[in-house]
Amino acid sequence: MSNSKKMHFEISERKLLLRIFDVVFVLLGMYCLSFIFNFNYFQFSLTNYYWIIVLAIYINVFGAIFEMYNLQVASNNLQVLRSVILTTTSTVLAYLLTPIFSPELPKNRLQLLLFYVTFFIILYAWRMIYLHFLASHRFVQNAVLVCDRDQVEELVLGLESVDPHYKIIGYINADSDSASDLEFQHVKHIEIKELTSFVAKNSISEIVVASQKTDGITTDLYHQLLNLLESGKSIREYTHIYESKAQRIPVQYISRDFYRFFPFSRSNQNKLYLLSIRLCEIVLSLIGLSIGIVLIPIILVGNAFWNKGKLFYTQKRVGKDGVIFRIIKFRTMIKNAEKSGAVFAKINDSRVTKFGKFLRKTRIDEFPQFINILKGEMAVIGPRPERPVFVNEIAKIMPFYETRHIIKPGLTGWAQVNYSYGEKLEDSLIKLQYDLYYIKHRSIYLDLSIAFKTVSTMLFYRGQ
């Protein structure tokens, strides 16, 4: 293997890099434009400093909505082009239509075209630089895994699927009861006595400990890990790395020491935060219901032709503290959709009508739930409310599932914007991981992130 050192950016650092340099390069482009052409629409001045601030805010807001800071999107050429076009168009239009805090519209309208074209070229050029250099495999973090032999494949795929620039290239078998001759694809088995030399030869920057058996950490291995720590190498626990990279809590690896993983966010008891959120929910509910009332005539026509049944339907769901309430939605399924019993909804569900599919994709079917929010049964953001029959079924086989009920269920949430409809129990496990992450890290920043992702889901027609 190559001995050359490689640079690695953590996920949060990559996103911060993208946000900062999106703004820096656009502003630099506007500054250079004033020298090359007779461009005076956007002028840099101490008296007009708020022009820069407003433009920077718009770039970050619309960039978030159109997935400019989604690392998977940022690493795909076609998706980058789409996101840049949408972000440029939305940012420029919003900026031109912002009174007082943006420059006065010029008499020469060609300057506006020049503003748009320069904005797009600069932003796209910078993203191509990021895509071909900073997002390339030259910026990889190599790591060694300490785990039980039968866990290797699952643990390696779990980490590398959420960060393709994080590579497990070797593992130490910490299972003293099994043989140690197994290798998984490119992951080499390392003898304990060879660990220090392997780390030095392969530019290893991190050792990940995932063994759940303390007797697997032998005295020899313990001393080698201690020496590596003292030499500056990072040694971290698998679940902490997984949580930070995947932004969900890996409950399948949490056992009797679960209390270490759930120091839930103080926002859950912060009265100022909860009051502010409640006021926002009331305002958003009134706006949402107003839009819903305007849309009802259109929905009535569509329902009459393609749904052919009642406009609304209600269903029992489990709310905060396990209290049962009735959720209200526009009907999207055929009559007697569950005559054979309750089943999970799934992608391309045959029970969903053609018009119902449109309502789901655009999330219009969920507008009546603002009534539940006004009544205090739901929040705008939180875990998706599940049906009692499924809660009882899942809770029997999935630890921590009912932990979701310590806060109000939401119209949208961290699980909804990061994962599709759950078709089976395995999907419920992944969604639970996201829900617990939200409960643990609940904050204004995370709420705003979910709001932007929800808008993106609606605009890109990705509802389920």
Single-letter residue type at 366:
E
The stretches of 375-424 forming alpha helices (DSSP H) are 388-397, 414-418
**Residue 379, beta-bridge partner list:** 410
| pLDDT above 80 for 346 | no
User: For residue 75, what are the CA distances in angstroms to 83, 120, 136, 409?
Assistant: 12, 18, 9, 33
Name the nearest CA neighbour of 41 among 86, 129, 102: 102
The reported pLDDT for the residue numbered 212 is: 63
What percent of the chain shows pLDDT beyond 90? 43
CA 394 – CA 431 distance, rounded (Å): 12
Whether the pLDDT of residue 366 is over 50: the answer is: yes
Residue 343 confidence class, pLDDT cut points 50, 70, 90: low
Closest among 146, 234, 160 to 190, alpha carbons compared: 146
Q: Is the predicted pLDDT of residue 294 greater than 60, yes or no?
A: yes
Rounded-to-integer distance, Cα 28 and Cα 42, Å: 12
Q: Please give the pLDDT value at position 60.
A: 95
**How high is the pLDDT of residue 293?**
93
Convert the pLDDT of each residue in 303-325 to its tens digit: 888 887 889 989 999 999 999 99
Lowest-confidence region among 16-25, 136-145, 209-218, 436-445: 209-218
Residue 4 has what pLDDT? 47
Return the pLDDT at 2. Answer: 44
Q: Could you tell me which residue, 459 or 181, shows the higher pLDDT?
A: 459
Q: Give the residue from 458, 453, 395 showing the smallest Cα distance to 68.
A: 453
Residue among 262, 213, 193 at smallest CA distance from 442: 262
User: Closest by alpha carbon to 281, among 191, 373, 352?
Assistant: 373
Q: How far apart are CA 457 and CA 165, in angstroms?
A: 26
Q: Is the pLDDT of residue 130 over 50?
A: yes
Strands (E), 232-271: 234-237
DSSP code of residue 384:
P
Query: Hey, what amino acid is at 237?
Result: E
DSSP single-letter state for residue 380: E
pLDDT at 288 over 90: yes
Q: Which segments of the chain belong to CATH 3.40.50.11060?
A: 141-246
Give CA–CA dist 417/435, Å, rounded: 11
> Could you tell me which residues are beta bridge partners of residue 343?
none
pLDDT at 259 (0 to 100)? 62
Percent of the chain with pLDDT over 70: 87
For the ranges 138-142, 269-273, 324-328, the maximum mean pLDDT occurs at: 324-328
Beta bridge partners of 172: 146
Environment class of 144 (CB within 10 Å of its CB; exposed 0-12, middle 13-18, buried 19+):
buried
Q: Is the pLDDT of residue 225 over 50?
A: yes
Fold of 141-246: Rossmann fold (3.40.50)
Helices 238-246 and 11-36, packing angle to 10 deg: 30
Average pLDDT over residues 167-175: 87
pLDDT above 80 for 268? yes
Q: Which of 4-13, 221-230, 293-302, 442-451 bottoms out in mean pLDDT, i.e. has the lowest? A: 4-13
Nearest residue to 118 (alpha-carbon basis) of 20, 17, 37: 37
pLDDT for the residue numbered 136: 64
Give residue 19's pLDDT.
Answer: 95
- The gap from C-alpha 375 to its chain's centroid, in whole angstroms, comes to 29
What mean pLDDT value characterizes the chain?
86
Q: Taking residues 192-217, report their average pLDDT.
A: 84
How many helices (H) and strands (E) in the chain? Answer: 16, 9
pLDDT classification of 423: cutoffs 50, 70, 90: low
Q: Mean per-residue pLDDT for 348-376?
A: 89
Structure token pair of residue 292 = 């819903």
Q: What pLDDT is stored for residue 55 in this prediction?
A: 95
Q: Which of 198-202, 299-303, 402-406, 425-429 has the lowest mean pLDDT?
A: 425-429
Rounded average pLDDT over 53-78: 90
Which string of b and e fits 103-132 if b means at least 16 CB within 10 Å? beeeeeeebeebbbebbbebbbebbeebee
**Which structure tokens are listed for 141?**
């973090």
pLDDT of residue 341: 63
What is the pLDDT averaged over residues 228-241? 89
User: Considering the entire predicted model, what is its pTM?
Assistant: 0.79
Mean pLDDT for 54-75 is 90
Residue range 69-90: average pLDDT? 90
pLDDT over threshold 60, residue 390 = yes
pLDDT value, residue 335: 75
Of the listed ranges 4-13, 54-63, 72-81, 166-175, the one predicted with least confidence: 4-13
Rg (CA), the chain: 26
User: For position 133, what pLDDT does the model report?
Assistant: 82
CB 268 within 8 A of CB 318: no
Q: How many residues does the chain have?
A: 464
- Take residue 374 and report the two structure tokens written for it: 């006004």
pLDDT given for residue 267 in this prediction: 84
- DSSP-derived letter for residue 333 is B
